[in-house]
Each structure stands twice: as C-alpha cells, then as structure tokens.
Amino acid sequence: MPFTHLLLALSVVFVWGTNFVVIKWALADLPPFLFAALRFIFCIVPWMLFIPRPAVPWRTLAGVGLCIGVGQFGLMYWAMRQDISAGLASLVVQTQVFFTIFLVAAVRGERTPALQKYALVLAAAGYGVVAWRSATDPAAAVTPLGLALVLAAGLSWAGSNLLVRGVGRVNMLGLMVWSSAFAILPLLAISLALEGPALIAHALPNAGAGAWAAVLWQALGNTLYGFGVWNWLLARHPAATVTPMGLLIPLFGMLASALLLAEPLPAWKLAAACLVMAGLALNVYAGRRAQG
C-alpha cells in the first residue's frame, strides 16, 4: 500500500474511532433506529441530486445499504444505547476484520498467509477476554446481548466489504450516496415497530443541537468520507491488507471514551486491547512479508 493510501486509511480509522463518543452523545436524545435513519437521510439529501449513480447493479447498492445501514449501524446503535460502552463497541465491531478475510477467502478465493492466520488468532484472544467479562462481570460495561449485537454488526460490515470488493473501481462516493437510500425505509420501519410513534414524535422536536450535529457528522464524516475512502481502498488493495487497519479504531475509540466520557480502563480491558493490537501488528508484518 503506498504511503498516501496508508495516510488515507489512518484518517478514516481516526474518524471512525473517535466517532463512538459522538454516537453515545446522540443516543442520549435520539432512539437508535431513528438516529440511524436520520443519518442515512442526510447521506442522500441533497447529494443524490448532483452525484450520479455509479455503474453498479441495483441489487449491489441495496445489499451495501442494508448491510451498512440496518446491519452495521442499526444493530450497533441499539447495543450502544445501554448494553455496551463506547470504548468496547469500538473494539468488538472490529471483528469485521476476521469476518471479511474469511468471507473473501471463501467466496473469492483470496489466500490468507499462515502468519496472518496466527495474527487473527492472537487478536481473537482479546475478543475472548471481552466475551468472558460480559458473561461473568455485571460491571463490565457490556452485556451478552450487547456483545451479540455488535458481533452481528461486525458481520454485516464484512458483508458490505465483500460486496464492495466485487464492484471494481467505481465512484465510491456515489456508491455510498446511492446505497444509503436503501437503508432508510427499513430503519424507519424498525423504528416505528420497536421504538414507537410516540417516542419518535417526542424525540424529533426535543433533540438538542448537539444531537443534530452528531447526525450530520454521522452522514458527512463517517459515511460519505469514511466509507467512501474505505471502499476506494478496498477496490485497489487486497482485503487482508486494508481491513486490518480497522483494528486501530479501538485505540482511538477507547482513548476518546476515556477522555471525553470518563469511561474506565481496567486491566482486563487494556489486556484485551493489547491482544487485538498485537494481532494487528503481526498481521501487517505478515502482509508485507507475503508481498515481499
């Protein structure tokens, strides 16, 4: 990966990592599925008016929109409402790295070097620590439901990565704008069914300026910029090279949560993060060795 592409990847993971704090702030005013629907409404308005649809089949646009909108963010926002802390969510959702590499290997036949497999096992041990604490410690800032929801969000993100890998070098900003349209109606339907018209009617006029700023940041910073750049990189580099960069997201996410939300960093959480980061370091080394 060229150095300029590496810098782009780092900018995205910084935005995505610190964004978990922003999500937590917004969820204080907005129910999760309504929040997700608003995010994707602002991803298409007004951008769809002047950004042309990329040369991608409608079914692919729908798949990406559903995976990212409903699967990744709908489930993650639901978990972050009360079942997982911002810092731990930033760590657990990076299981998308494992899911993506395995899906790409199974569906597209991309080989994963043996050393990268060991790296994934090392990082998986970190997630095992989180799973153990969620099951045994009521004060762990994560419940089994929260863990399951964010794992499902990671799998959905991986599904989107797999779809994007198949579209080639298209306009990724256009891909994100047009695919976002397919997330809105399902999210609104889920919001009406689970959160109810009364809560929606109360939340919309009473949400503060900070919540609306968070919605705009979700749309512009995280979706259009973040996923636009991320998918652009995925179209140009092997999935096993790009997706492990996402393992840096917990570093930014946990530090931002500690600084801005006063989220504690007990020894078990630091140990889990260190295992995941060690897996990233070994994975990057393995990727460079394979290319060399």
**3-state SS, residue 64:** helix
- pLDDT for residue 249: 81
Give the amino acid at 230: W
Average pLDDT over residues 233-237: 81
For residues 40 and 187, the answer to whether their CB atoms sit within 8 Å is yes
Number of domains in the chain: 1
d(CA 136, CA 64): 36
Cβ–Cβ under 8 Å, residues 171 and 58: no
CB distance 219 to 173 below 8 Å: no
For residue 238, the number of C-alpha atoms closer than 13 Å in the C-beta half-sphere is: 16
Q: Which residues of 120-154 are buried (b: 16+ CB within 10 A; e: fewer)?
A: bebbeebbebbbebbeeeeebbbbeebbbbbbbbb
172-206, pLDDT tens digit by residue? 888 889 999 999 999 999 999 999 999 999 999 99
For position 181, what pLDDT does the model report? 94
Amino acid, res. 160:
S
Between 123 and 158, name the one with better pLDDT: 158
**pLDDT computed for residue 288 by the predictor:** 65
Q: 281-291, pLDDT tens digit by residue?
A: 777 677 666 66
Average pLDDT for 109-132: 79
Contact 272, 131 (CB under 8 A): no
Closest by CA to 65, choosing from 37, 105, 85, is 37
Q: Which of 67-76, 114-123, 173-182, 241-250 has the weakest average pLDDT?
A: 241-250
Radius of gyration over alpha carbons of the chain, in Å?
18
Question: Is the pLDDT at 65 greater than 90, yes or no?
Answer: yes
Nearest to 25 by CA among 196, 213, 224, 151: 213
Which among 233, 174, 165, 177 is positioned nearest to 55, based on CA atoms? 174
pLDDT reading at 238 higher than 80: no
**Residue-wise burial string across 253-278, b where 16 or more C-beta atoms lie within 10 A, e elsewhere:** bbbbbbeeeebeeeeebeebbebbbb
Q: How far is it, in rounded angstroms, from Cα 114 to Cα 120?
A: 10
- pLDDT computed for residue 200 by the predictor: 94
- pLDDT of 291 reads 61
Mean pLDDT of 221-225: 86
Helix crossing, 3-27 with 75-82: angle to 10°? 50
| 148-152, 243-247, 255-259: range with lowest mean pLDDT | 243-247
Q: Domain containing 65: what range?
A: 3-291
What per-residue confidence (pLDDT) applies to 140? 65
DSSP string, 143-201: -HHHHHHHHHHHHHHHHHHHHHHTT-S--HHHHHHHHHHHHHHHHHHHIIIIIHHHHHH
pLDDT in the model for residue 119: 81
- Looking at the DSSP bridge assignments, the partners of residue 142 are 84
Rounded Cα gap, residues 95 and 153, in angstroms: 9
Cβ neighbourhood burial of 161 (10 Å; 0-12, 13-18, 19+): buried
pLDDT of the residue at 275: 87
Instruction: Kindly report the average pLDDT of the chain as a whole number.
Output: 86
> pLDDT tens digit string along 142-170?
888 999 999 999 999 999 988 988 887 78
Q: Stretch 78-101: mean pLDDT, rounded?
A: 86
Instruction: Classify 23 as helix, strand or coil.
Output: helix
| Statement: residue 126 has pLDDT above 90 | no
pLDDT at 107: 79
Across 37-41, 113-117, 119-123, least confident range: 113-117
